[in-house]
């Protein structure tokens, strides 16, 4: 029986690993809270069924498994919605499947479901490990009471309950530690991905993401690029200092990015930004560029010492296939137009329409 308990324990840890591996691959589909609850509930319900199928035989017709343990872990770490979905799936299995092992009766499962929900409501502000301890204690008390009510002789009941007590608390403790480790790993992964893809000062995408997006444009029917440069930015840095220059960069970026409802905005140089737009015509791209220009011209910016300053930008626009033969030529053409906008006196939008 000890070997069967060890196998069950290893299955639980393996399921936790599988859960997070799949979750990391489905992050784009799990943005909403409801999606996370559905994923967590479905996975925990499926794992509970598998753990029930491989339940340990204590003796005779007495079994125990880690099905409720995986549901408790889902409850504490994923939330009430996931627990409700997982418990419903497991109830259907216990109540209607001929393959279900009688580790717990349907009435006992319903009672546990209600008890844990009530306990969670009463312990809303408590730490996770405290909740896990009390939830696991409730599981063991329920298992002991069910054996005393319908089970074998008293000595066998105590032995079975002792084994389940040891296995459940060990599984909860190690399982929670593994989950915490996986959550920290997930957070670090997301942090590193964000740092690798965004500009540290302005928060928009960096040059690496800009280059990747340009590579993805191959095969598109229409694409446009707007290059943006802050006018006389070097002089501003010389007059007010680089700290104030950074503040202006962030303020201008915030203003511009709020106007980009679709497409990708990236910082590709010191004070130079690029906006990549899919399925944009020449007229649409030129109109958006003019919106950028007028928005910055109409804005006022204040330095730390209270000086109110005006900032302007120059913009170059290029469109594929109207102006260039390939998307790879968008950047050189937009850069050429940006240079012309500066030559015309700055605070200009330059493209073939103008």
Q: Among 287, 284, 293, 288, which Cα is nearest to 314's?
A: 293
Helices (H), the chain: 2-25, 33-53, 67-78, 80-96, 106-122, 128-150, 154-197, 207-216, 233-240, 242-257, 282-298, 330-343
Q: Are 135 and 72 in contact (CB under 8 A)?
A: yes
- The CA–CA distances, whole Å, from 321 to 244, 273, 288, 329, 341 equal 40, 22, 18, 10, 21
Which residues, 6+ apart, have CB-to-CB distance to 285 below 8 Å?
A: 224, 225, 226, 277, 317, 319, 351
Return the residue matching tokens 């549901």.
71
Peptide bond into 287 cis (omega under 30): no
- The CA–CA distances, whole Å, from 11 to 7, 74, 139, 190, 348 equal 6, 16, 19, 27, 65
**DSSP three-state, residue 103:** coil
> Rounded to whole angstroms, how far apart are CA atoms 191 and 193?
5
Which residues, 6+ apart, have CB-to-CB distance to 257 below 8 Å?
A: 203, 204, 265
DSSP, residue by residue, 121-149:
HHTTTS-HHHHHHHHHHHHHHHHHHHHHH
Q: Are 349 and 252 in contact (CB under 8 A)?
A: no
Active site positions, annotated: 271
Q: Are 301 and 251 in contact (CB under 8 A)?
A: yes
């Amino acid at each position: 029986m000890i070997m069967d308990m060890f196998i069950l324990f290893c299955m639980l840890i393996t399921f936790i690993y599988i859960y997070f591996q799949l979750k990391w691959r489905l992050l784009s589909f799990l943005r909403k809270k409801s999606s996370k609850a559905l994923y967590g509930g479905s996975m925990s319900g499926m794992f509970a069924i598998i753990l029930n199928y491989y339940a340990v035989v204590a003796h005779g017709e007495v079994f125990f498994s880690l099905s409720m343990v995986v549901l408790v872990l889902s409850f504490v770490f994923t939330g009430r919605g996931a627990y409700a979905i997982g418990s419903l799936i497991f109830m259907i299995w216990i109540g209607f499947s001929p393959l279900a092992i009688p580790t717990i009766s349907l009435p006992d499962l319903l009672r546990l479901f209600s008890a844990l929900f009530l306990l969670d409501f009463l312990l809303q502000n408590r730490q996770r490990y405290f909740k896990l301890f009390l939830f696991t204690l409730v599981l063991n008390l329920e298992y002991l009471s069910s054996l005393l009510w319908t089970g074998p002789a008293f000595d066998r009941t105590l032995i079975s309950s002792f084994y389940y007590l040891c296995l459940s608390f060990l599984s909860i403790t190690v399982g929670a530690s593994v989950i915490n480790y996986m959550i920290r790993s997930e957070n670090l992964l997301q942090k590193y991905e964000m740092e690798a893809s965004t500009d540290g000062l302005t928060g928009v995408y960096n040059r690496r993401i800009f280059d990747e997006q340009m590579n993805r444009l191959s095969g598109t029917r229409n694409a446009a690029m707007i290059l943006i440069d802050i006018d006389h930015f070097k002089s501003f840095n010389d007059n007010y200092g680089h700290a104030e220059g950074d503040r202006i960069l962030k303020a201008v970026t915030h203003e511009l990015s709020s106007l980009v409802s679709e497409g990708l905005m990236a910082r590709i140089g010191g004070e130079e930004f690029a906006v990549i737009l899919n399925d944009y015509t020449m007229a649409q791209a030129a109109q958006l560029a003019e919106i950028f220009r007028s928005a910055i011209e109409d804005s006022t910016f204040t330095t730390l010492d209270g000086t109110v300053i005006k900032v302007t930008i120059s913009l170059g626009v290029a469109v594929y296939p109207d102006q260039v033969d390939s998307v790879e030529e968008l950047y050189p053409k937009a850069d050429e137009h940006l240079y012309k906008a500066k030559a015309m006196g700055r605070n200009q939008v330059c493209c073939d329409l103008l």
